[in-house]
Structure 1
Amino acid sequence: MVADDSKMWRTILKDLLSSEGYDVITAEDGLQAYFKIYESCVDVLISDVIMPGLNGYQLCRILKKDPHLKDMPVILLTGSADSVDRFWSMYSGADAYIEKTSSNALDNVKKILKNFKWKSDMPPQDGKNVFGAVLDELLAETTLRAEISELSNHVEDVDYTIQKIRNLLRSLFGIKAFAALMITMSEMILYSSLKDMKKTEEDLLSRLKRPYFPSYHTYRTIDGKEDVEGLNSIYKVISYDGKEEGVLALWRERSFSVREEKLLSIICEEIGGIFKNIIEVNEYRKNAYLDDLTGIANFRAIEGHLEKLWNSGKNFEISIIDIDHFKKVNDSYGHEVGNEVLAGLGKMLREFGEKHDVFVGRFGGEEFMAISEKSNFLTSVMNEFRQMVEKAHFSQSMPTLSISVSAGVARRDDFSSYTEVIEFADGLLYQAKKEGRNKVISYESIG
């Protein structure tokens, strides 16, 4: 197929290629060429770039979207020597780009054609019907990509982004239930409207190519809890640049058509980039606001949380927790064991904080902090935590090693800054140390 709006070039190319033994058909513009390609089962396309109706770039891109024609060789010819035109020809999927004004343009056409071995096995079709379906698909794809790409502006608000993705999928497919899993080697976040989060997590993880055993599991309920028994489901692995970023699962009463599955694949391509950005933002936050050793909030995050509470005018309680005789642990068993103790205590404190809705962090060294917005609450839970620590073992290499902690608990009350509240809690901690350690002293006990 030779497509060119110049009669002269159509004649030149047809005569040249016919003399080389090729069967040549011609078209006066891109749209006519498109129809004839389907009607005549063309093996190679040689197209001008600038043509009315459908230019060479557009023709190439549309043809490459068809799975039957995606491997059909395409040579683009142009009178322009502009490097931008060369870029767009390669971007559109063309296999070769030749400038008409070059002295060896026709010789290059013949040389390139000899290297093409592809043969069409597509039966003749009505090109107009195919073209209409392709335009519908391209319009849908462009619209969906635009809709989803806007969500990239909100990746810091993960809940908002997932809600928007769910809303789009619900309006498109009429889904009854939804689940989205974001995954790294160490962490996973599951958004789901299913009742059994753990079972849903296992189900979605099983769809991935490689095994994952994340240390941190975060569950977020979306749209209440649904029962999907008897519903049809569809699962799609979310990838970006070949790397697994998660899994998407949808449930509804009727089955999913081939066309719907194709649309969902397009959506998932875009979601892959969003998931990647969300994961990177989370990693940045962890590096910026989480303590590497213990996996809980660092001093910067603690300050940010306290500043937010203070500026809001909310009352709160602070507890400073210190490991008793921690220097002896390091001196007697080494810093490696000391790090095991710190990491183990951090893990226990994180789980304890999640259970009681308490913000926890590493204040520095062997000191930790707990913050609660509940009144007259922190003293009792810190005593509970202290008793748990007393019975626990934190070192695998030294299983007989046990530790204890002391804590001071202060309340905002009439202090003029959160730093003063911290200082008061620290003073109470010091008092607990003086009174024999393994003890919690609070503002309540001293009146």
Structure 2
Amino acid sequence: MKKILIVDDSKFWRLVLENLLSKNGYEVIISENAMQAIDMALKEYPDVIISDCNMPGISGLQLCLYVRSIPAFRNAGIVVLTGSDDVINAFWAEHSGANKFVSKLLPIDELERTILNFVQQDFYADKNLRTFSFNNIYDVLEQKMRMEILNREILSLIQFARDEYYVIKELRSFLANFSYFESCALLVLSPVEGRIYNFGFELQKSILKDILIKKLEKPLEQSNWSYTGNYGPNITVSEDTIYYTVEYQENEIGVIAFSNVSEVRNLVKVLTDAKDSISLLFNTLNTFREFKVASTIDGLTGLFNKKELLRFLEETHTLFKKSGRTYFVAMFDIDNFKKINDTYGHLVGDETLKIVARILKEAVSERGIAGRYGGEEFTIILTKTTKEETVEIIESILQKVRTTEFPHGRCTISSGVVSSEEYQSPTEVLKAADELLYIAKKSGKDRAAYMFLPNRSELKEFIQVEHQEQT
């Protein structure tokens, strides 16, 4: 038998509604005001609540908001009765949590029919969720206050969405206020890129990625991944690890993992209470990332585009000049690429560009950046290598291309490599690498020309000699 709570400060309407529902076989409980109604709801768990709109103290709309914040009443039915003087803002009515608004000015037979049709629907209070509920209205008010604070704090991070790492780090620190956890990892997933931020899991990158992805029912397939944080050698995760899936408009856009959590209940409750804010935050991060990718990433290869390459080069040159450090630039060109396009078509040519791009990206890793300069030309900028390490990376790239099976068969590339030593502008560095690439191409292709010379005059002299020898 359904249990129905009637809430109205009018004795007349309480009697009318009680008589209607009792004679139709429903168990009825009565309250004269919203404050009392919340206390009764927390003890009786009614399946349906019928409330007057305009009451002294807490109104019917406020009652709806309070009741809907309690998990046990998410599937309960709530109808609000309005009088002739009740003016309800459409926005607040829609977001109050009420299922239906019914005017008391309807003819009595129509009013009764409307209410009976409503209570016959599949509404219910979930008594299994009592342990997550409250004892009285003051607990409800405290919970509302807690949720408002949680959501305000999390949503305040949206203003920093351009700096995703800062946002993720601050979110992790905020969650640590509610429970100790030894490790935390966050996966943020968008159509253009998957990002993993690791704080303490001693796992291999690929292992951590697979573990997080498996927590999603329908994960987006990604070819571009970025990893932030320190990673370890382990391949398994502890059994006590808990996971929280972030969804936005029914799309899975993230996972948060915690290990060795001291207060699991507290942490889960915070994540549940703040789920809408966390979802909005993750979606905002994805939006900013998609805008950034659209303006900085080459659509075909997934590498940085020329504009972003030049911006990074300028910033790197300025920074390294001030600190007295050296960086390296290498220009690459796919040998005989026009012949590949003309013979096998542009689809094969595009696939060739993608494969070379993947080889470059994997070789550079976190030691710099790789980009598509234009056409079949690529550029890498290495900021964390010595001369010897740079040569080793370049040679490994050439060898990897030689031994890779391409759609049309064998493929090779040529490269020109310079250091930034004593070049006064980033343009000079880039032009020097391009001229060395020219030498490599003229010298037989499938090779790299290295020149770590102190100034432009020596480079020009060397190039002139090379040109004379070739002619």
- Which of the five TM-score ranges fits, normalised by the shorter chain? 0.7 to 0.9
Q: CA-to-partner distance for each residue in 1:45-95, whole Å, 9 max, x for gaps? A: 332323333211111122223344333332223346787534323311212
Change (3 A) 1:121 1:224: closer
Q: The residue matched to 2:177 in structure 1 has which SS?
A: helix
Alignment of 1:364-375 (within 5 A): 364-373=374-383
Deviation (angstroms), 1:344? 0.9
Q: Which residue of 1 aligns with 2:273?
A: 266
Deviation (angstroms), 1:362? 0.8
Q: Which residue of 2 aligns with 1:334?
A: 345
Q: CA-to-partner distance for each residue in 1:367-404, whole Å, 9 max, x for gaps? A: 11122345646862464146315522352x323x2223
Q: Calculate the TM-score normalised by the size of structure 2.
A: 0.80
Change (3 A) 1:151 1:386: closer
Q: Which residue of 1 aligns with 2:146?
A: 140
Residue 70 in structure 1 maps to residue 74 in structure 2: yes
Residue 109 in structure 1 maps to residue 111 in structure 2: yes
Could you tell me how far apart the structure 2 residues matched to 1:390 and 1:40 are? 72
Q: Where does structure 1 lack aligned partners over 5 or more consecutive residues? A: none
Could you tell me how far apart the structure 2 residues matched to 1:86 and 1:80 are? 16
Deviation (angstroms), 1:331? 2.0
Q: CA-to-partner distance for each residue in 1:5-26, whole Å, 9 max, x for gaps? A: 4x4xx31452465267378665
* Equivalent residues of 2:437, 2:448 under 8 A apart: yes
Q: The residue matched to 2:434 in structure 1 has which SS?
A: helix
Matched AA of 2:436: L
Deviation (angstroms), 1:244? 1.0
Deviation (angstroms), 1:256? 2.4
Could you tell me how far apart the structure 2 residues matched to 1:75 and 1:346 are? 61
Q: Which residue of 1 aligns with 2:412?
A: 403
Could you tell me how far apart the structure 1 residues matched to 2:8 and 2:387 are? 83
Match of 1:95 among 84, 88, 99: 99
Alignment of 1:288-299 (within 5 A): 288-299=295-306
Q: The residue matched to 2:371 in structure 1 has which SS?
A: strand
* Equivalent residues of 1:323, 1:406 under 8 A apart: no
Could you tell me how far apart the structure 2 residues matched to 1:144 and 1:128 are? 18
Deviation (angstroms), 1:240? 1.3
Could you tell me how far apart the structure 2 residues matched to 1:352 and 1:119 are? 59
* Equivalent residues of 1:177, 1:226 under 8 A apart: no
Matched AA of 1:404: I
Alignment of 1:2-401 (within 5 A): 2-5=6-9, 7=10, 10-12=11-13, 14-15=15-16, 18=19, 21=23, 26-38=30-42, 42=46, 44-79=48-83, 84-100=88-104, 102=105, 104=106, 106-115=108-117, 116-117=119-120, 118=123, 129-184=135-190, 187-192=193-198, 193-197=200-204, 198-210=206-218, 214-221=222-229, 232-252=240-260, 254=262, 256-257=264-265, 260-312=267-319, 314=321, 316-354=327-365, 357-373=367-383, 376=387, 380-381=391-392, 383-385=394-396, 387-389=398-400, 391-395=402-406, 397-399=407-409, 401=410
Q: Which residue of 1 aligns with 2:464?
A: none
Change (3 A) 1:441 1:128: closer
Deviation (angstroms), 1:412? 5.8
* Equivalent residues of 2:401, 2:412 under 8 A apart: yes
Q: Which moved more, 1:179-188 or 1:271-280?
A: 179-188
* Equivalent residues of 1:379, 1:442 under 8 A apart: no
Deviation (angstroms), 1:345? 0.8
Q: The residue matched to 1:351 in structure 2 has which SS?
A: helix
Q: CA-to-partner distance for each residue in 1:113-159, whole Å, 9 max, x for gaps? A: 12022577969x9x993334333333322221221111222222222
* Equivalent residues of 1:408, 1:432 under 8 A apart: no
Residue 439 in structure 1 maps to residue 426 in structure 2: no
Q: CA-to-partner distance for each residue in 1:243-271, whole Å, 9 max, x for gaps? A: 111221212264623x6533332234432
What is the Cα-based RMSD across aligned positions, in Å? Answer: 3.5
Q: Where does structure 2 lack aligned partners over 5 or more consecutive residues? A: 460-471
Aligned residue pairs, count: 435
Change (3 A) 1:228 1:54: farther
Deviation (angstroms), 1:272? 2.2
Could you tell me how far apart the structure 1 residues matched to 2:375 and 2:298 are? 11
Q: Which residue of 1 aligns with 2:463?
A: none
